[in-house]
Amino acid sequence: MKNQVQLITYVDRLGGQRDGADLARLKRLVSEPGAPLAGVFGGVHLLPFFHAIDGADAGFDPIDHTQVDPRLGGWADIKSLTEVVDVMADVIVNHMSSESPQFLDYSEKGEASPYAGLFLTLDAVFPQGASERDLLAVYRPRPGLPLTYATLKNGERRILWTTFTAAQIDIAVHHPQGRAYLSGILRTFADNGIRMVRLDAVGYAIKKAGDSCFMMPETFEFIAEFAQEARALGIEVLVEIHSYYQRQIEIAARVDWVYDFALPPLVLHAFNFRTATALKRWVAIRPKNALTVLDTHDGIGIIDIGADASDRAAHPGLVPPQELDELVERIHAASQGQSRKATGAAASNLDLYQVNCTFFDAMGRDETAYLLARAIQFFLPGVPQVYYVGLLAGHNDMDLLGRSQVGRDINRHYYTEDEIARDCERPVVRRLIELIRLRNQHAAFQGEFTLLDSSDAALHLRWSQGGDWAELQVDFAASTHALTYSTPGGQGAFAFS
């Protein structure tokens, strides 16, 4: 993976019109000379662009995972985009849509379908029957049981395994049809120039009676097999897992790439509590094979820096629980209460452990602090990703939230091309793009990283390679900061405001 900043975006929400030309439009936006984002990014993570992008889970429930939604364009447009920028795409490995041809065939033919056995049922997971202990042992990302009572089209009734929603039926990934399905997706991706995949919710892919059905040894085995198959096709694999921080470290040791989901709340914690201790502790131990983020299409992960839910006393988090609670309150306050309306039960939100808010609003629209947060992100080992709303220092979209009643939509604004052009002229966005270019181009970032000693309130990071160097110093208590770097003539400084 190129050591350059990547963009995370929906194809149709960043200047798209859903007219079949959105992929071509996105290519122009990130590559055409004179376009607002030309040459800014080394890679783009395209959020699901499969048929159809507008399912209940915003594309994560495709009907056909190997077909590009025609409203965005076709595979030729994807391939064309890969010529100017590295492209990452999602593989939804855990489940299939209840509208997929495979499930419809099973629903009509039952056991006579070639896909019988592909869809997990209660009996398939618990052949001896499930007790409360069994079902309560299953790690749940959402409230409720992972079970759906379904009447198939052939009249048969089954209890299906559904980790997320009743419209997303979990599949037996080791079933011949499951393997063929996943391999087919990888091959289609490889054929069309995609060089990175993100395994969505892969932690839930393997089920085992009596166990948590989440990130078990068998799950790691599955990820390793899948990654091997991907690598043989020239594809790198990113694993998406929200988890206790120690566990994240263990997971990172066993896979190609992970997200650093602890970073966004730790950065907010540092600014809000005027201390760098928790952040620095994490910097010292965090995995280096990480994609760093401050924002994604999901909310700000709280669980990632909290205690281990299975034993809070024995396994405390990176931040004490009372500070974690207060941090959530501070985000709500910084966003004028908007994030509260999009989070938890208030928005019937299913992601109980995430706060939904744009990162810029979570920082109270403080432009200097926001740019400092990005600088910290860019200075940590790994490959930085910037979410399209964060790139444009976007505000919470309360209209979209109100219309959809989906909490995460607060941070999923649909930008017109005019809005993008206008936002790119805002000083905060111009400075951010400069910062991205510095991160991409300065030779120091290809060298050695050092976490330098500093007071509890301060963070001091350095990169160096030969005579090239770059340093970031932030004192959260004194509110002082400096980003300096070597230049051919001597040294330069980045102005945050």
Indicate the pairing of strand 480-486 with strand 468-475: antiparallel
> Distances from the Cα of 339 to the Cαs of 264, 271, 361, 371, 388, in angstroms?
15, 18, 9, 21, 18
Residue 337's Cβ-side half-sphere holds a number of Cα atoms within 13 Å equal to 1
Binding of residue 120 to a second copy (CB under 8 A): no
Q: Tell me, rounded to whole angstroms, the distance of Cα 415 from its chain centroid.
A: 20
Decide: is 129 part of the binding site for a second copy (CB under 8 A): yes
**What single-letter DSSP state applies at residue 395?**
P
Residue of 240, 323, 367, 471 marked catalytic: 240
Selected from 130, 278, 369, 383, the binder of a second copy by CB under 8 A is: 130
In the shown chain, the binding pattern of residues 138 to 177 toward a second copy, with x for contact by CB under 8 A and - for none, equals --x--xxx-xxx-------xxx------------------
Q: Is 326 a catalytic residue?
A: no
Strands 196-200 and 236-239, by their bridges, are parallel
Using CB under 8 A, which of the segments 79-87, 106-114, 135-143, 252-260 binds a second copy? Answer: 135-143
CA neighbor of 181 nearest in space, from 236, 229, 244, 139: 229
Q: For residue 166, give the 3-state DSSP assignment.
A: coil
Minimum distance from residue 313 beta carbon to a second copy (Å): 13
Q: What's the chain's length in residues?
A: 497
Per CB under 8 A, which region of 88-96, 102-110, 125-133, 382-390 contacts a second copy? Answer: 125-133
Is 481 marked as a binding-site residue?
A: no
CB of 127 to a second copy, least distance (A): 8
Among 32, 64, 105, 134, binds a second copy (CB under 8 A): 134
H helices within 9-95, ranges in order?
22-31, 75-82
DSSP three-state, residue 7:
strand
Q: Site size for a second copy, by CB under 8 A?
A: 24
Catalytic residue among 69, 77, 200, 409: 200
How many whole angstroms separate alpha carbon 387 and alpha carbon 196? 17
**Site stretch for a second copy (CB under 8 A), options 110-118, 123-131, 327-335, 466-474:** 123-131
The end-to-end CA distance of the chain, in Å, is 32
Could you give the CA distance from residue 475 to residue 423 in angstroms, rounded to a whole number? 29
If the CB atoms of residues 149 and 153 are measured against a second copy, the closer one turns out to be 149
Name the packing angle between helices 263-273 and 277-285 (round to 10°).
Answer: 150
**Nearer of residues 84 and 167 to a second copy, judged by Cβ:** 167
DSSP three-state, residue 137: helix
Cis peptide before 58 (omega within 30 of 0): no
CB-side exposure of 279: number of CA atoms within 13 Å? 31
* Nearer residue to a second copy within complex by CB, 111 or 132: 132
Distance of closest approach, residue 150 Cβ to a second copy, in angstroms: 9
In angstroms, rounded to a whole number, what is the distance separating the alpha carbons of residues 59 and 50? Answer: 7
Euclidean distance between CA atoms 236 and 228, whole angstroms: 9
The helix or strand, by DSSP H or E, that contains position 362, with its residue range, turns out to be helix 359-362
Min CB(135)–a second copy separation in Å: 6
Q: How many CA atoms lie within 13 A of 103 on its CB side?
A: 25
Q: 365-404: which residues touch a second copy (CB under 8 A)? A: none
User: Shortest Cβ distance from residue 235 to a second copy (Å)?
Assistant: 37
The DSSP call for residue 407 is G
Q: Are 334 and 362 in contact (CB under 8 A)?
A: yes
Is 200 among the residues known to form the active site?
Answer: yes
Give the H/E segment covering residue 65. Answer: strand 64-68
310 counts as binding a second copy under rule CB under 8 A: no
Q: Residue 352 annotated as binding?
A: yes
Ligand-binding annotation for 371, yes or no, is no
Residue with smaller CB distance to a second copy, 144 or 490: 144
Q: Is 453 in the site for a second copy (CB under 8 A)?
A: no
Query: Which listed residue (19, 123, 329, 448) binds a second copy by CB under 8 A?
Result: 123
Q: Tell me: does residue 470 bind a second copy (CB under 8 A).
A: no
351 is in an annotated binding site: yes
> Is residue 199 a known part of a binding site?
yes
List 122, 235, 251, 268, residue binding a second copy (CB under 8 A): 122
136: contact with a second copy by CB under 8 A? yes
- Nearer residue to a second copy within complex by CB, 76 or 136: 136
Please give the C-alpha separations between residue 24 and each of 15, 45, 416, 447, in angstroms, as whole numbers.
Answer: 11, 15, 15, 35
Instruction: Figure out which of the listed residues 9, 97, 107, 121 binds a second copy, where binding follows CB under 8 A.
Output: 121
State yes or no: residue 111 binds a second copy (CB under 8 A): no
Q: State the nearest-atom distance from the C-beta of 290 to a second copy, in Å.
A: 32
- Minimum CB separation of residue 115 from a second copy in Å reads 18
Q: Does 348 bind a second copy (CB under 8 A)?
A: no
365 is in an annotated binding site: no
Phi, psi of 31 (to 5 degrees): -140, -25
User: How far apart are CB 51 and a second copy at their closest, in Å?
Assistant: 25
Please identify, using beta-carbon distances, which residue of 128 and 441 lies nearer to a second copy.
128
Residue 90 · residue 47 · CB < 8 Å: yes
Q: Does residue 308 belong to the site contacting a second copy (CB under 8 A)?
A: no
Q: Residue 143 or 490: which CB sits closer to a second copy?
A: 143
DSSP state of 119: B
Binding site for a second copy (CB under 8 A): 121-123, 126-136, 140, 143-145, 147-149, 157-159
Residues identified as active-site:
200, 240
Q: List residues forming the annotated binding site for substrate.
A: 57, 95, 198-200, 240, 297-298, 351-354, 408
